[in-house]
Amino acid sequence: MRYLILLWLGLSFTFLQAQTIDPAQITIARDSFGVPHIFAKTDAEVAYGLAWATLEDESELPQWFLAATKGKLGAMTGIDGVKVDFAVAWMGVRDRVNQRYESDITPEYKKVLEAYAAGANAFAKAHPERITLKSLFPITPQDICVGHMLAFALIQGVDGTLRRIVDGRMPNPWNSTEEGLGVIDSNAKKHEGIGSNAFAMNSQITDDGNVFLALNAHQPVEGLMSWYEAHVCSEEGMNIHGAMFHGGNTPYIGTNPYLGWAHTSGGYDGVDVFALEMHPKKKNMYKFDGEWLKLEQHKVKLVVGLGKKHKTRIPVWRKVWWSKFGPTYVAENGVFAVRMGSIMKITPSQQWYYMCKATNFTEFRKALDMQALAHYNIIYGDKNDTVYYLANGLIPQRAAGHNWGGVVKGNSSEVLWDEFYPVKDLVQFLNPKSGYVFNTNNSAFMGTDKAENLDPKDFDPYMSYDTEENNRSTRFYELMEGRDKLSFQDFWDIKYDTRFPRDFKDLRGFKVDGLFSFKPEDQPDLAEAIRHINAWDRGTEMENPDFPVVATALYYINEHFRPKDQQDAAAWREKMLEAIRFSQTELMEHFGTLDLTTGDVQRIVRGDVNLPLGGGPDILRAVYTEKFQNGTRKIWIGDSYMQLVRFTPEGPEIWSLNTFGASNQPDSPHYTDQMEMYSQKKMRKVTLDKEEVLKSAERVYHPE
């Protein structure tokens, strides 16, 4: 009964907040591309308006995350959803938020969370036809915190780690029948294109003395991790144009009048797996510092929706366990615990809020010291000629002498880390002499001119920073060779560069230089395809006549082979021939010729709009495709939300672009209206000036 009273009070408080906000005092101005610009007196009112505008443009994706935070995704989507519900319950993120909300969330930011929840609840009440599962509402501020923690856990790879444990594929070092400790690749998604490019340049290298900043996120162009663009502006100092995932209550990347920043995926191991030493006879007893302790255990109720539209709902009970190391799972081949920063910090969106409100580097750096972002490097630029790169993350301070790249024996406090490296100890570059910083998901230690890069030996090896280069970083250095000064057009051209590096050998973990080692006369049946491959000039522009043959072979390699296939050189050479043969057969079958351009095969598609597209995987103009129709392929990951910024004395000049448009509603004129610009490598110029926005807006209204 006490729990029900507290719950009722919490929900009543949410409704009370809704009553204190007058929607008539909030202005939503839609520009000519339908992007919402939200103006109000307070940050809280702006958050209310942002929630309303987001749900106008896309209501399904925010509800997916909301259902996951509330343990109702199974009821909404069926079997696949209930797996997520289990993972959320197993990680204990809701309990963490409930324990830490009052102490960790500032009073100022609580108002923002409460108002955003109130705005979403008001929209749901006004538009019940847009709500998939009525029991998801009302939203609470705590739901928003849980949602951000879940997102970071997924980005850190907890889903793959848990799947390996549940399936019995996680190596157990306590089991003498298993060789070695195995390897946990928590950063496996980097090879799937989920990454990003970002770079910033100051007066040391820009020809006009202004700071240039490129925000170039690589995410799926549709779905949960796609971007939502908005401009939020209050009279309390909030004024930023940027983007967030659908349902985010503050921009994650963007530009305000003073500064801007981009994120790229961080390359470090942020997930540790521990195998517990279990008692040989007593069930669920594990050894810790010489004592036998009992696993905490409780049951969770999950609901699975079955049948048409998942209307039939079946309750399912499952056990979850907890040890000193964190969430724990009792598998057939052992008992494993998972420890990761993303489920220990409840404040990622709060940190973004204070980053958005920073007016100089000192304030921005103070926000970074909150250390709530478990992932994401930061590339920063501001009007004061400051550029900065931080290889950011919640990196544990691990004990020496253990194989932290695999499963660790978890039976003592020696391996139970509780602290993270502070920001001051992370890899970073502030105003290097070269005048530029960059990251393309490459080695953390290579963030500027090669002469100024850092030595990994100067850092604790257990920080586990990635030390690999990729085609984007190699090409970036090629483009910077011999440069004394760059114009903003040069900067623009670098962002949209469509070429692989001269020394192109590797792609997404595969050695592909063998593709270029064949002679047409030695392979008569593949002679035409080999001629195209050997003639390829490393370009991927829409008019390129050879990239279709190369690209089709590369995608075949990625989709059908595994890195271990490269161990036998002779066999790998045969697989290169297999890929070339597939490319020739595939293109001839669908097009009747190999004389094709990139744009003939590679497309950007949404609804009835189908346009040619240049670019390719792991290049600065990032385009990763999937099979579409009649031999064509369409983009699914790559350049998603983008900004190019020049900080002038008069204020920032901002060019912006989203992949398709501002709305995910098929009947909206803004469902596809940015696609032609995307195809043509063009962008929209946007402004932070309220009067200018209102003067040119196509629609101005209040969220009611």
- What gap in Å lies between CA 466 and CA 124, rounded to an integer? 44
Confidence (pLDDT) at 507: 87
Cα–Cα dist 701/692, whole Å: 16
Which has more confidence, 186 or 100? 100
> Would you say residue 321 has pLDDT above 70?
yes
Tokens of 355: 């980053």
Q: pLDDT tens, 497-514? A: 999 999 898 887 899 999
* The pLDDT value given to residue 194: 55
Domain ranges of the chain: 169-186+269-343+401-421, 506-601
Cβ atoms within 10 A of the Cβ of 635, count? 25
Task: Give residue 509's pLDDT.
Answer: 82
> How many helices (H) and strands (E) would you count in the chain?
19, 29
The tens digit of pLDDT for each residue in 367-378 reads: 999 999 998 999
Q: Residue 54 has what pLDDT? A: 97
pLDDT score for 650: 95
| Start-to-end Cα distance in the chain | 36
- The token pair that represents 584 in the structure block: 């020739």
**What span, in angstroms and rounded, lies between the C-alpha atoms of 12 and 281?**
50
DSSP lists the bridge partners of residue 215 as 198, 643
- Give 20 or 674, the one with higher predicted confidence: 674
pLDDT digits (tens, 9 = 90+) for 211-220: 999 999 999 9
Task: Return the beta strands (E) in 411-542 as ranges.
Answer: 428-430, 436-439, 506-507, 510-511
291-319: average pLDDT: 91
pLDDT over 70 (residue 365): yes
Query: Looking up tokens 């909301």, which residue turns up?
Result: 66
Provide the β-strand partners of residue 243: 229, 253
CB 220 within 8 A of CB 636: yes
What is the structure's pLDDT at 117? Answer: 97
DSSP sequence for 256-301: -SSEEEEEE---B--EEEEEE-B-SSSTTEEEETTEEEEPEEEEEE
The residue-averaged pLDDT of 520-549 equals 97
Using the predicted structure, report yes or no on whether residue 112 has a pLDDT greater than 50.
yes
pLDDT tens track for 573-614: 999 999 999 999 999 999 999 999 999 999 999 999 999 999
Return the minimum-mean-pLDDT range out of 68-82, 240-254, 429-443: 68-82
Question: What distance in Å separates the CA atoms of residue 194 and residue 205, rounded to the nearest whole number?
Answer: 29
647 HSE (CA, 13 A, CB side): 27
d(CA 543, CA 186): 38
pLDDT range class, residue 193, cuts 50, 70, 90 = very low
Answer yes or no: are the C-beta atoms of 168 and 182 closer than 8 Å: no
Say which residues have a Cβ less than 8 Å from residue 252's Cβ, sequence separation at least 6: 242, 243, 244, 245, 263, 352
Instruction: Residue 138: name the closest of 153, 158, 117 by CA.
Output: 117
Peptide bond into 171 cis (omega under 30): no
What are the residues whose beta carbons fall under 8 Å from the beta carbon of 32, sequence distance 6 or more? 696, 698
Are 86 and 68 in contact, with CB atoms under 8 Å apart? Answer: no
- Which residue do the tokens 């549709």 mark? 222
Other C-beta atoms lying within 10 Å of the C-beta of residue 348: 24
Cβ distance 29 to 694 under 8 Å?
A: yes
Res. 4: pLDDT tops 60: no
For residue 29, how many other CB atoms are within 10 A of its CB?
21
pLDDT digits (tens, 9 = 90+) for 511-521: 999 999 999 99
DSSP state of 454: P
- Residue 17 one-letter amino acid: Q
Beta-strand pair 259-264/377-382: antiparallel
Read off the pLDDT of residues 326-352 as tens digits, 9 standing for 90 and up: 999 999 999 999 999 999 999 999 999
Backbone angles phi, psi at 394, to 5 degrees: -90, 90
Range in 133-147, 175-189, 253-267 with the lowest mean pLDDT:
175-189
Q: Rounded to 5 degrees, what are φ and ψ at 445?
A: -85, -10
Q: Which residues 6+ apart lie within 8 Å of 289 measured at CB?
A: 411, 412, 413
Q: What confidence tier does 178 reach under pLDDT thresholds 50, 70, 90?
A: very low
Residue 74 has pLDDT above 90, yes or no: yes
Domain covering 169-186+269-343+401-421 in this structure, CATH number: 2.30.120.10
Dihedral sign for Cα 566, 571, 577, 581, please. negative
